[in-house]
Structure 1
Amino acid sequence: MGTQVNESSSGISLADQAYILIRDRLVMLEIQPGEPINEDRLSTELDMGRTPIREALKRLERDRMVVAYPRRGTFATDVHIADLAHISQVRRTLEPLAASSAAERATPADRAELTELRSRLEDDRGHDNAALLRTDVSVHRAIYRCVYNPFLEDTLISYDNLATRIWCVFIPRLSEVAGHVDEHIPLLTAVIEGDADKAAELALEHVAGFERAIRALI
């Protein structure tokens, strides 16, 4: 089941809604790497016309989530483990920046929301790996929103999505997914408490730990 569009109530466009829904299916590999994208089926499943679907797919192509071939159609991009080093290089720089910026810039309302998210995370242990990964994604996106830089936020989401696709490929062989997600509890605490240096340190270790876990399997 794909991620719900929480933003729908705020009046975002159909194309944006389509983008979010298709993107999250691609991220969680509900649309498998290399699988053809069936616009008619998506139109029916999402209860939308073909135009917003096509606009969303063009945007997803820029995100490297789908690729379009003339006269062949549009396909979900493959997940290449060789991309891990490139993705991790970007994330090792940007994730600590995001965490420290969020610690400095989060509003009182943001900190209350992050506190609630931390409580849910503490209570939700023991779920299956797919649910844990969705929690991982939701925490990252909550922190990114607190940066208050739309350009940085878009870049962070893009690279986190690519990293999550790699997680999904290897998750049947991973044994420490719960521990990886639990790392968010001290990270969220640092952001909530406004400790920018600690937040940056924990974010860097989180990204490095992800890369180590994957490399241990290849």
Structure 2
Amino acid sequence: MPDAEAPDSHTHTASGGGGLLFSRAAVGQTAKAYGALEELIVTGGLPPGSQWSEIALADTIGLGRTPTREALQKLAYQRLVRIAPRQGVFISEIDYQGQLKIIQARREIEHLVMAQAAQWASDAERAALRQLAQELEELKAHSDMRVYMRLHFAITSALGEASRNSYAAEFYAMLQTLARRFLYFHQKRHTNLVEICDLHIHQLLAVADGNAAAAVESATLRNDYAENLARDILMELIVTSAVTVSPAGHAT
């Protein structure tokens, strides 16, 4: 595993109020299990490369084995875990060079999601997007990465739902999770959230206003920013030998 700047360590449980880094609304047990496990993976509570049993993971999040197993299947599809029969669950390593491909794929899908969300969002959804924009505005004053992680998850869910395209929304959510994890693990290289918050705010307000062209343009700018950041981080890691590039062009 690359010698990345790992996030600070915390004990996480699915109950007890302050255990999880950010709260998420979830109706069913499987959705709750997914939200808890995804959060722990993104923020390093389940470290890259670590091995777990299904029972241990169920105990960690305080939920049953069935919803935990179903959540793990979704996480495996999203490439966040690898399930090995009779061996357990392995938390995936961060794919460093693949991060650029993640952003490139997200760029195209996000254009579709933004355009459709601007067209199809309900009045209630537009109000919710404006509220998220306001929370991002408030976040600029203290640059709390954990709060940003919560808002990033909420923004992805809200825009995906508003797009009325469940297929695009599903792939969009997967790519957003992978990008969010990469950013969290390198937060010490990115302590000022003002610029990224402004990019999100412009995007959210464009969708809320029903301006599809402006929403797509804002998405382009945000992905340009993310791609440049990922390139800078990758190059720094290569220079410091924290990662190496294989002949096939893959960072390891």
If the length of structure 2 is used for normalisation, what is the TM-score? 0.78
- Which structure 2 residues correspond to residues 3-152 of structure 1 after superposition, within 5 A? 3-8=22-27, 12=28, 14-125=29-140, 126-152=142-168
**Contact 2:22 / 2:146 at 8 angstroms: preserved in 1?**
no
Structure 2: 5+ residue stretches without partners? 1-19, 236-252
State the 4+ residue runs in structure 1 displaced beyond 6 angstroms: none
Show structure 1 runs of 5+ residues with no match: none
More helix as a share of residues: 1
* 1:161 has 2:177 as partner: yes
Residue 183 of structure 1 aligns to a residue whose secondary structure is: helix
* Alignment match of 2:217 (pick from 201, 209, 214): 201
Deviation of 1:76 after TM superposition, in Å, equals 0.7
CA contact (8 A) 2:54 2:88 kept: no
Residues 47, 136 of structure 1: alpha-carbon distance in 2 compared, 3 angstrom cutoff: closer
Q: Distance in 2 between matches of 1:163 and 1:124?
A: 20
Aligned length, in residue pairs: 214
Q: TM-score, normalised by structure 1?
A: 0.90
SS in 2 for 1:74: strand
Distance 1:47 1:129, change over 3 A: closer
Cα distance in 2, alignment partners of residues 69 and 189 from structure 1: 44
What one-letter code is carried by the residue in structure 2 that aligns with 1:110? E
Relative to structure 1, is the Cα distance of residues 70 and 44 closer, same or farther in structure 2, using a 3 angstrom cutoff?
A: closer
Distance in 1 of aligned mates of 2:160 and 2:148: 19
Between the two proteins, what is the percent identity of the paired residues?
Answer: 28
Q: Would the alpha carbon gap of residues 177 and 38 (structure 1) be closer, same or farther in structure 2, given more than 3 Å must change?
A: farther
Structure 1 residues 65 and 211, CA, compared in 2 at 3 Å: closer, same or farther? same
Equivalent position amino acid for 1:4 in 2: S
Report the more deviating stretch, 65-74 or 95-104: 65-74
